[in-house]
């Protein structure tokens, strides 16, 4: 009998007695569990906590129990009335779904369809793709504004280049007449002469250590090269030359010229174009040119740790010789081919088969659209909850402001202020807390407005993104596959793919070995 934990939550104290109260959620979940033959062992409840944060007492306690409990695991399933009781953000859903998966715990929402097989695995990737799409839209809007600032010759943020200093300038007027301030660069009288001297010394053949010692503009040769290649000293403003990769801090050169902003005469130049060109020629002559042969990388077996021999319940491991790469059953390695005559598997054949089936059966337009529609429905429910939560907060704010008004009226009528100091401070703190919660809801509502309609173009764009994933380097692809697949069991005619988050294995399709019919020979 499966052991389950029930999690129930309402966002505000007022909702505890409205809509679906906590006790109502728990009762429905208990009945659902009883119908399934599940045993309820834990009940976690958070009353008055928003699902947008994971800083909820009962939720944190549940996660701590999952992470720290020794085997056997504390429960097999986490059951909720709806998924938004447990998660209100895609980021949290993806993060904690991985925690559940690592500990072999399922998550079930009783009023939502339970995705199985490739769908269960794929839902996480669709949610992640949708989240990335919406975040990308915010980033694009931000980038568009920063480009406009750079095109006007102003700084988009950060420290000025050595030799300059930031200064605030009036760039225009707001509709109400207030000035619009932007950050520009002006000559730094202390460092600009040193920068010019560094360029002149380089042009005249001085070494890097000599330039650093004489000018003090940088502390290392690599930093000196960066300084000497910086076109900002010609008075140019260049923005978006480097871009972020995969939303991470790792940066790479922007290969789209149309995305790079170049503004001449954005600020006063420190050096002349002739001096800059002369220095670039010197740097190019000093650049090392390494010649040599690149060694072939070690062969990567994508399915290591995933491919199992059904007969022996043993892993297949990679084996390479001078002319062939193949997987061999580890039981066969240990016991010998006569005792374990299971078939060797050609590396290229089985890897292509598995990847093709993932593309054809898991990453389909139908599954992507189903995931996006589910995401949209959840977002609509979240908006409705936001409206109720916002209304409840406004009522509380009005009540607190009325109490404060009465306190101050009492003081004006002659009541000793010291007698009301503590209640005034308490109400003021509560008022600030409520306004912060209201601001967070309004911020989330602005983000929700960015959600686009689900179109065929969007669906195909997301599908292309994940199909392109299979063109990644073997090392990266090997790291990605365990995110989707628990194991692949092979016998003579069938490949059975078991995805995460399902109780039973699902047959992908038949795999027919190619080549010699001898079971001991590789296909």
Grade residue 137 by pLDDT with cuts at 50, 70 and 90. low
At 97-130, the pLDDT tens digits run 778 877 888 888 887 766 555 555 556 556 555 5
How is residue 214 written in tokens? Answer: 């004489």
Lowest-confidence pick of 244-258, 285-299, 479-493? 244-258
Q: Which residues contact 340 (CB under 8 A, 6 or more apart)?
A: 311, 312, 329, 331, 332, 334
The answer to whether residues 8 and 45 touch, using CB atoms and an 8 Å cutoff, is yes
- Token pair of 354 as six digits: 């598995």
**Contact (CB, 8 A) for 344 and 515:** no
Beta bridge partners of 218: none
**Helix and strand numbers, DSSP H then E, in the chain:** 15, 17
Q: Which pLDDT score, from 0 to 100, does residue 240 have? A: 66
Residues in the chain, overall count? 523
Instruction: Please state, in angstroms and rounded to a whole number, the distance separating the CA atoms of residues 38 and 5.
Output: 10
Distance CA 257, CA 238 (A): 12
Identify which of 50-54, 61-65, 337-341, 422-426 has the greatest average pLDDT. Answer: 61-65
* Average of per-residue pLDDT across 372-384: 75
- Tens digits of residue pLDDT in 270-310: 999 999 999 999 998 887 654 544 444 467 888 888 898 88
User: Do 437 and 393 form a contact (C-beta atoms < 8 A)?
Assistant: yes
CA distances (Å), 23 to each of 14, 15, 83, in order? 14, 12, 17
Q: Which of 212-221, 271-280, 322-331, 509-518 has the lowest mean pLDDT?
A: 509-518
pTM of the entire predicted model: 0.40
User: Within 13 Å, how many C-alpha atoms sit on residue 221's CB side?
Assistant: 8
Q: Indicate whether 386 pLDDT > 60.
A: yes
Nearest to 245 by CA among 257, 236, 254: 254
């Amino acid at each position: 009998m499966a052991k389950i934990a029930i999690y129930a939550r309402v966002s505000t104290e007022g909702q505890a007695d409205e809509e679906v109260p906590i006790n109502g959620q728990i009762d429905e979940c208990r009945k659902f569990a009883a119908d399934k033959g599940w045993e309820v062992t834990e009940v976690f409840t958070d009353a008055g906590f928003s699902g947008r944060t994971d800083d909820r007492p009962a939720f944190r306690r549940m996660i701590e129990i999952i992470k720290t409990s020794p085997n056997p695991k504390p429960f097999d399933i986490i059951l909720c009335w709806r998924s938004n009781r447990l998660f209100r953000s895609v980021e949290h859903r993806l993060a904690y779904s991985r925690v559940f998966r690592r500990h072999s715990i399922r998550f079930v929402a009783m009023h939502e369809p339970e995705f199985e097989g490739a769908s269960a695995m794929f839902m996480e990737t669709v949610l992640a793709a949708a989240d990335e799409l919406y975040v990308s839209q915010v980033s694009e809007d931000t980038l568009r504004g920063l480009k406009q600032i750079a095109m006007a010759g102003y700084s988009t943020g950060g420290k000025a280049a050595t030799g300059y200093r930031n200064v605030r300038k009036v760039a225009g007027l707001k509709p109400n007449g207030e000035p619009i301030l932007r950050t520009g660069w002006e000559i730094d009288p202390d460092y600009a002469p040193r920068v010019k001297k560094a360029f002149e010394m380089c042009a005249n053949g001085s070494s890097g250590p000599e330039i650093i010692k004489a000018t003090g503009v940088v502390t290392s040769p690599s930093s000196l090269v960066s300084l000497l290649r910086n076109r900002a000293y010609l008075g140019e403003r260049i923005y978006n030359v480097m871009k972020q990769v995969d939303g991470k801090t790792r940066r790479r050169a922007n290969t789209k010229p149309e995305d790079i902003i170049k503004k001449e005469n954005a600020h006063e130049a420190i050096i002349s174009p002739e001096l800059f060109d002369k220095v670039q020629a010197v740097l190019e002559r000093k650049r090392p040119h390494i010649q040599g042969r690149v060694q072939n990388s070690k062969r990567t077996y994508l399915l290591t740790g995933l491919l199992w021999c059904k007969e022996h319940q043993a892993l297949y491991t990679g084996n390479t010789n001078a002319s062939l790469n193949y997987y061999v059953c580890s039981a066969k390695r240990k016991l010998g081919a006569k005792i374990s005559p299971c078939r060797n598997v050609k590396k290229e054949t089985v890897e292509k088969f598995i990847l093709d089936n993932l593309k054809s059966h898991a990453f389909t337009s139908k599954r992507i659209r189903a995931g996006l529609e589910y995401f949209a429905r959840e977002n609509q429910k979240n908006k409705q909850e936001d409206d109720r939560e916002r209304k409840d907060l406004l009522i509380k704010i009005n009540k607190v402001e009325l109490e404060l008004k009465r306190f101050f009226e009492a003081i004006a009528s002659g009541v000793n202020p010291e007698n009301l100091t503590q209640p005034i401070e308490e109400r003021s703190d509560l008022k600030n807390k409520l306004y912060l919660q209201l601001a967070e809801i309004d911020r989330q509502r602005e983000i929700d407005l960015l959600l686009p309609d689900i179109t065929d173009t969007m669906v195909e764009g997301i599908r292309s993104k994940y199909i392109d994933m299979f063109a990644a380097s073997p090392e990266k692809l090997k790291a990605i596959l365990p995110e989707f697949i628990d194991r692949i069991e092979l016998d003579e005619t069938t490949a059975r793919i078991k995805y995460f988050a399902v109780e039973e294995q699902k047959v992908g399709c038949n795999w027919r070995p190619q080549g010699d019919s001898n079971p001991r020979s590789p296909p």
